[in-house]
Amino acid sequence: MNDNYDRVKQQFLDYLSQDGVSEATLKFYASDLNHFERWLLTKLADLGSVASNLTEAFPYLSPSTAQEYKNSLNSASNPIATINRRLSTLRRFSVFLSESGYLTYDFAQNLTNISASKLKHIKTTSASARHAVAEFERHLLAKKKSANTVRNYIADVKQFLEWLEAKYEPATT
């Protein structure tokens, strides 16, 4: 089973190298793909699904899966450049899967990058607050709330935390 994943991964890297992607960039793509695989397999295991590699998880790839991954990257307070690079990798991988016939659709077609303004409030809240928001998001996902509901609730909580932090910030003299 792992051989199948390694073959698909190598085919993806070969696909990218045909576009003239440098060796250094190929390493980033491979690393980002491994990160996505770990995230997806963990998510599926939490939901009770058994998939031991990315290829076995192909049936679970959907636009909502791509959005959940984006939300998890955002919640984890990764650097913006890293988040957007990982999203770019996912979009390229999605195109590869559809063009190669592994999937009949481009599951990450509408996945967009994030901007610095959307992360501003995350960086200003404490680590424990960020952790609590991430736990709340996992809770919502476990309850099978829609991607829109999760996104809206998380945005509301983050906005509240930003307000709370500003309101009760110790006075400086």
The verdict on 20 and 85 lying in the same domain is yes
Q: What pLDDT is attached to residue 104?
A: 94
Q: Are 29 and 89 in contact (CB under 8 A)?
A: yes
Whether the model clears a pTM of 0.75, i.e. scores above it, the answer is no
Give me 55's structure tokens: 């290829």
Nearest to 109 by CA among 171, 141, 65: 65
The verdict on 108 and 119 lying in the same domain is no
- Measured between alpha carbons, how far is 133 from 158 in angstroms, rounded to an integer? 8
Tell how far CA 87 is from the center of its chain. 7
The verdict on 106 and 153 lying in the same domain is no
- Measured between alpha carbons, how far is 97 from 90 in angstroms, rounded to an integer? 10
The verdict on 87 and 139 lying in the same domain is no
Q: Are 86 and 38 in contact (CB under 8 A)?
A: no
Domain count, the chain: 2
What residue numbers bound the domain in which 147 lies? 115-173
Run means of pLDDT, 10 residues per run, the chain, 173 residues: 69 91 92 95 90 90 93 82 93 95 94 70 62 86 84 79 64 45
Sequence letter at residue 17: S
- Measured between alpha carbons, how far is 128 from 124 in angstroms, rounded to an integer? 12
The verdict on 83 and 2 lying in the same domain is yes
